[in-house]
Amino acid sequence: MSEQKTILITGGAGFIGSHLVQLLVKKYAGYKIVNLDKLTYAGNLENLKEVENYPNYQFVKGDITDVPFLEKFFAQNEFDGIIHLAAESHVDRSITDPMGFIQTNIVGTVNLLNVARKQWTGKSGKRFYHVSTDEVYGTLGETGYFLESTAYDPRSPYSASKASSDHLVRAYYHTYDFPIVISNCSNNYGPYQFPEKLIPLMINNIRHEQPLPVYGDGKYTRDWLWVGDHAEAIDLIFHKGKNGETYNIGGNNEWKNIDLVEQLCDLMDALLDRPKGNSRKLITFVKDRPGHDKRYAIDATKIKDELGWSPKIQALEGLRLTSQWYLENTEWLDHITSGAYQAYYQQQYL
């Protein structure tokens, strides 16, 4: 039986959050894991079916932008740690409608900092962990990597909102000696990712033999991190990281978008018993994203040297596992792509 602790996870019904909740609930029987989530379009309790009846798990529906709710919630619950993932997370949506990103990612984060600071003043052994993105560092050219010391240079409303919240979290450390830790990771992929992000969107479209919209020339590069590896890194940093520090987490797995989409086409053709080359014919180059960051790549030396973490799942294996998962979970996929998703997809692509 592990030590007794009560840990609040925000955004635990989302993609990364649901993997983290599952990991912590199963690994630490002595912890009470409280998942606070507003259940926006991106939050889905179906992601948590496996743990919903565990005695050490509790779900609470709530909005981090709602201060009276948060004050009441914190008056009723004493937390030892907070792992904060709740956010608006999709760059394209932040371009169409930035305000929700400002509200949840900036104001919501400060609301949480305030209620936690009030609860934790005069107490030791607490920790507020902010889960952030490498997009705060801006964009790279053909070479180089983001380090923890790289200057912030966010370029989309999404990344600017995450950069802002990182700064505020760090400001609470310096100003109030509030116990924080931050990690900035690269693009995650794997099961339960909402199909507005590149990989599940392409898998879903290949499945339905719909056009595969590749932005611009397709030569934009991302470093893909297997979501399970990320959840393990968060667990490690939460328990072993140092207060006030930042850790970069990367997959060491760079792909140009077009190469990745072609790879997915070939994998899916094989899994669906379609002739090789079938799905590549669906690739359609479309209008570029405004302010599109050219390349992200992480130097994850610090977390490797200091905490002994490195990614376990590499390139092709991760893409195969992901494609297989989506094909085995078409009910989940069909459910999540019904209703509001159709309206979003039509506005974005059609």
Return the ∠ at Cα 337 (arms to 229 and 287), rounded to 5°.
85
Q: Out of 222, 265, 279, 319, which residue is the one contacting ligand TYD (CB under 6 A)?
A: 222
Question: Is the Cβ of residue 56 or residue 322 nearer to ligand TYD in the bound state?
Answer: 322
Q: Out of 21, 24, 42, 319, which residue is the one contacting ligand NAD (CB under 6 A)?
A: 42
- Asked if 214 interacts with ligand TYD (CB under 6 A), we say yes
Q: Which stretches of 272-329 are DSSP H helices?
A: 301-307, 315-328
User: How far, in Å, are 56, 165, 289, 315 from residue 154 at the CA level?
Assistant: 38, 12, 15, 27
Q: Out of 32, 38, 127, 155, which residue is the one contacting ligand NAD (CB under 6 A)?
A: 38
Whether 158 is catalytic: yes
Question: Is the Cβ of residue 84 or residue 222 nearer to ligand TYD in the bound state?
Answer: 222
Residue whose Cβ sits closest to ligand NAD = 14
CB of 131 to ligand NAD, least distance (A): 5
- Cα 169 to the center of its chain, rounded Å: 18
Residue 331: closest CA among 39, 31, 47, 9: 47
Question: Which residues in 233-262 contact ligand NAD (CB under 6 A)?
Answer: none
User: Segment contacting ligand NAD (CB under 6 A): 128-136, 267-275, 314-322, 332-340?
Assistant: 128-136
- Asked if 241 interacts with ligand TYD (CB under 6 A), we say no
- Asked if 179 interacts with ligand NAD (CB under 6 A), we say no
Q: Out of 106, 131, 136, 212, which residue is the one contacting ligand NAD (CB under 6 A)?
A: 131
Whether 135 is catalytic: yes
Confirm if 10 and 84 have CB atoms less than 8 A apart. Answer: yes
Half-sphere exposure of 211 (CA within 13 A, CB side): 10
Tokens at 180, concatenated? 């924080």
Q: Which residues of 150-177 are buried (b: 16+ CB within 10 A; e: fewer)?
A: beeebbbbbbbbbbbbbebbbebbeeee
Residue 84: closest CA among 154, 139, 16, 2: 16
Catalytic residue among 135, 196, 254, 293: 135
Catalytic residue among 134, 254, 262, 293: 134
- Asked if 257 interacts with ligand TYD (CB under 6 A), we say yes
Calpha distance 131→44 (Å, rounded) = 19
Q: From ligand NAD, ligand TYD, none, which one binds at residue 262 (CB under 5 to 8 Å depending on kind)?
A: none
Q: From ligand TYD, ligand NAD, none, which one binds at residue 91 (CB under 5 to 8 Å depending on kind)?
A: ligand TYD
Calpha distance 278→266 (Å, rounded) = 8
Q: From ligand TYD, ligand NAD, none, which one binds at residue 194 (CB under 5 to 8 Å depending on kind)?
A: ligand NAD
Return the ∠ at Cα 236 (arms to 50 and 230), rounded to 5°.
60
Residues at the site binding ligand TYD, with contacts judged by CB under 6 A: 91, 187, 197-198, 201, 213-215, 220, 222, 257, 289
Residues in contact with ligand NAD by the rule CB under 6 A: 10-11, 13-17, 37-40, 42-43, 63-65, 85-89, 104, 108, 131-133, 162, 185, 187-188, 194
